[in-house]
Amino acid sequence: MMDYGLNNKYDNNKDEYVYSTPNNDIVDYKGNKNFESVDFMQEAMIEAKKAYKNLETPIGAVIVRNNEIISRSNNQVEKLKDPTAHAEILAIRKASKDSDYWRLFDCTMYVTLEPCLMCVGAIINSNIKKVVIGCYHKKNSKVDTEVELALELLKLNKVEVEYDLRDECQKLLTKFFSELRKIKNQK
């Protein structure tokens, strides 16, 4: 991460990084107090990198309302021993809990990889209005069919889908699975 002269510390209670200026103003990762200039996909990548460090599939998600991040998470399937602990699901749970309202009508989710069918269902049921995706899910024809179905379900339910394609998102996933294969081959 680039140094923007910020004090950055990891808050274990919130399981996230907290950034502040020398005056203790809370800011985004680049030091912006005005969140309109935040690169929300970059914030989702920060979450994906946390998952990577924890040996989880490196996927991150942030939920934004009125140009402010209201929730962020990363995959925690292994940590929580919960097959539903995908970044999108955990971010939706946190946003709903913190908002005291489960309907997230006015929110946009930024996620580093195309969501699976389970996550698409949660996105639709939480009424998120828009999903911005960082990279395509590249695996096999079965996944392609599932992704096509998931994207079609989003569109049918009037969830706007936008791609903000980032090489960084794809490279992190490729690196993770390459390293995972090496570990499995060593056993």
The Cα-based distances of 115 to 18, 41, 86, 120, 153 in angstroms read 26, 14, 9, 6, 11
Residue 133: exposure state from Cβ atoms within 10 A (0-12, 13-18, ≥19)? buried
Q: Which residues are catalytic?
A: 88
Calpha distance 171→157 (Å, rounded): 31
Global pTM value: 0.77
Structure confidence by residue, pLDDT tens digits, 156-185: 999 999 998 889 999 999 999 999 888 888
99 pLDDT above the threshold of 80: yes
Q: What percent of the chain has pLDDT over 70?
A: 76
Residue 145 confidence (pLDDT)? 79
Whole-angstrom Cα distance, residue 182 to residue 186? 6
User: How confident is residue 34, by pLDDT bands cut at 50, 70 and 90?
Assistant: very low
- How do residues 51-85 score in pLDDT, each as one tens digit? 999 999 999 999 999 999 999 999 999 999 999 99
